[in-house]
Amino acid sequence: MRLPGLPGATAAVPEVMSVSDESDRSMVATICPYCACGCGFYLEVERGQARRIIPRSDHPVNQGALCPKGWASLEMIHHPERLKWPLRRTADGWERLSWQQALQILADNLRRIGDTRGPDALGFLSSTKCTNEENYLIQKLARTMGCANVDSCARLCHASTVVGLRRSMGSCSVTNPLSDLANSRCILVIGSNFAENHPILARWVLQAKEAGATLIVADPRRTPTAWLADQHLPLRPGTDVALLNGMVRHILDQGLHDRDFVQRRTTGLEQLRSSLADFSLARAERITGVSAGELARAARAYASSPASAVVYGMGVTQHASGTAGVEAVANLALLCGQLGRPGTGILPMRGQNNVQGACDMGAMTEFYPGYRLPEDPRTVQVFGAAWGSTCLPARKGLTSMEMMDAALFGTLKAMYIVGEDPICSHPDQSRTRQALQSLDFLAVQDIFMTETAEMADLVLPAACWAEKEGTFTSAERRVQRIYRATDPPGEAREDLWIVSNLARTLGLNFPYTDASSVFQEICRRVTIYKGLVDLGDFGGFWPCLEPGKWNEILHQDCFPTEGGLARFLPATYCPSTQEPGADYPLLLTTGRKVCHFNSGSITRRTPSLLAISDHLVVEMNPEDAAVLEIVEGDRVWVKTVQGSASGYAHVSGSIPAGVVFMPFHFPATNRLTGDARDPISHIPELKAWACQVKKEV
């Protein structure tokens, strides 16, 4: 087995082991390709086939455990439906191409449209499933073509975290390692069903509980995470900001805040205080549906514990007021001084395994690699010199949501989509479909023929994570290597190979030979990665300015802002875009299930996960079901102003009356959501839409 050429990888690296026996078996260390916990396991490879998964008991995150998705990741590698050849759409179906033909067609179309309509007629979607190196190259490709329109699905999950936490604290990431939750004495979980979505996290939370910690879970549903809670706050969907504002105001009123921390480390308390003048607990109760007494109890527990942490997820971020939700979380932590120490902190739980890394690498239109602002003249100078380019855009371009708008308006003419499936993942599916149909040219690069790929003019077959080398950055800022275990099927190629060869076909300067050469450039150009030249067995945390030296816990002494202080930012509560009414009397909310993942393009092809759940469920309360004469398993239609979708009723007391839950792993769900979005981060509202449900007759 060839050792990778990444910095620090030497023959002494123990996790890639070649076992020389007759069967030619080897064990290859890798990182789970699903959620952002970053669990480590070995792939056992025999005669070129990945046969078995062996969890790493020595891995600091998962300690020998895996969730169902981690175990099932083996099934995607040799899946019979993997894309194997470049394909071009013709009037008669798909035509198989050579790589040379495919890259020439893609280059010719990007060049033709860029030359005739300007570079902003192009749009690039990078992938949070791809490695850091691949994301770095995709955004470089876009920007060296003069195009500012490069984004990723971080827009759909945690764009509000990136924007909100940067505005509050100067840094947009998790503050403490996941395992540090074991040191917490109070854990507030809001908008995160980690027991299903990031199951490994439950290990650390349970350790904290065994040591006496209080677990508070704010979620409209009584989820498996809420089952673990000492206190469940069943707030109405879309009222997170009101819940947090009510708690913050109560803490201030009762003098429970950390005056010393606030005085030394923050600014803006008086603006925050006046913004909450009308946010009594009684008002918070009216909005959230959680009693004032329960809100006060939660606020006191969080503020008075010696070490409190907040874990949040897309229940907070995926709203038209997602940035305000994140800033409200930050206000709570800052007010109580629950930052910079073991057991404290803010943990935004990213979904896909490399969401953090994709953002770090500049696969968000607001940032060049390392969160450098395009409007800062030094940014274009630095990257222009590094890349030998004089046409880098000194401006923010279109977000992925705005790219769909521009396609509909006719100003965006071509898209190159890598590893993303907007037909399933974007809201308002019919609008997204119309937008993609409006393009002159669409190229999609993926491992399966996704719903989006089916619309493309050109489809490029990519290698999956087990077939390539590079690094992923997990939700806790841990940068870890992955190693090539098997060959890609047919003529599928690593995204790094495809993007580099495309760039060279376009005549661009892409002198990279492998992941190592790209990672070395990342360490030179991205300050927070500068010292990560030796990733060792279990990676390293950013920010790392010197080899081997990093802070696992951020903000211990100061914040990375001008002046070193964090800012309180008034978080304005806005009611959901749509409140239930006569025509649409119920409120639809969406989320994940343990056995599926994101758009479902992989897990809906994974037999062992399909055996657990192979159909779209519509979860509803027994009271609502009784009124509608619906029983468990009935086929039902859900309708919103956007469209309709059918699924199978799951009648459960775990969901409050008036609320309907659907997982978004099936394409039909996003027929129902609309494109209202947060004005600051442009994240769409995916968590609260008025709907009606009818039994199919």
Binding site for ligand SF4 (CB under 6 A): 32, 34-35, 37, 39, 62, 66-67, 69-70, 198-200
What is the sign of the dihedral through the CA atoms of 403, 404, 405 and 409? positive
Nearest one of 376, 415, 322 to 679, comparing CA atoms: 322
**Residue 686 C-beta-side C-alpha neighbours within 13 Å:** 32
Q: What is the DSSP string of 25-49?
A: EEEEEEE-SSBTT--EEEEEEETTE
Q: Which is nearer to ligand SF4, 555 or 592 (CB)?
A: 592
- Burial of 595 per CB tally in 10 Å (0-12, 13-18, 19+): buried
Q: How far is the CB of 256 from ligand SF4 (least distance, A)?
A: 34
Beta-strand runs (E) in 392-506: 414-418, 441-446, 458-461, 470-473, 478-482
Q: Which is nearer to ligand SF4, 497 or 597 (CB)?
A: 597
Q: How far is the CB of 288 from ligand SF4 (least distance, A)?
A: 30
Q: How far is the CB of 422 from ligand SF4 (least distance, A)?
A: 22
What is the three-class DSSP state of 313?
A: coil
Q: Which is nearer to ligand SF4, 596 or 650 (CB)?
A: 596
**For residue 481, what are the β-bridge partners?**
471
Q: How far is the CB of 482 from ligand SF4 (least distance, A)?
A: 12
Determine the Cα–Cα distance for residues 664 and 220; give it in Å rounded to an integer: 17
Q: Which is nearer to ligand SF4, 178 or 329 (CB)?
A: 178
Q: How far is the CB of 139 from ligand SF4 (least distance, A)?
A: 25
Q: How far is the CB of 488 from ligand SF4 (least distance, A)?
A: 21
Select the residue whose beta carbon is closest to ligand SF4 and give its number: 70
Residue with tokens 């064990």: 27
Q: Which is nearer to ligand SF4, 65 or 668 (CB)?
A: 65
Q: How far is the CB of 71 from ligand SF4 (least distance, A)?
A: 7
Q: How far is the CB of 618 from ligand SF4 (least distance, A)?
A: 25
Q: Which is nearer to ligand SF4, 200 or 290 (CB)?
A: 200
Determine the Cα–Cα distance for residues 540 and 526; give it in Å rounded to an integer: 15
- Give the count of beta carbons closer than 10 Å to the beta carbon of residue 312: 26
Q: Which is nearer to ligand SF4, 30 or 500 (CB)?
A: 30
**For residue 458, what are the β-bridge partners?**
88, 443
Q: Which is nearer to ligand SF4, 35 or 620 (CB)?
A: 35
Q: Which two tokens stand for residue 337?
A: 């001084």
Determine the Cα–Cα distance for residues 496 and 522; give it in Å rounded to an integer: 14
Q: How far is the CB of 201 from ligand SF4 (least distance, A)?
A: 7
Q: How many helices (H) and strands (E) does the chain have?
A: 25, 27
Determine the Cα–Cα distance for residues 585 and 59; give it in Å rounded to an integer: 48
Q: Which is nearer to ligand SF4, 74 or 407 (CB)?
A: 74
- Burial of 469 per CB tally in 10 Å (0-12, 13-18, 19+): buried
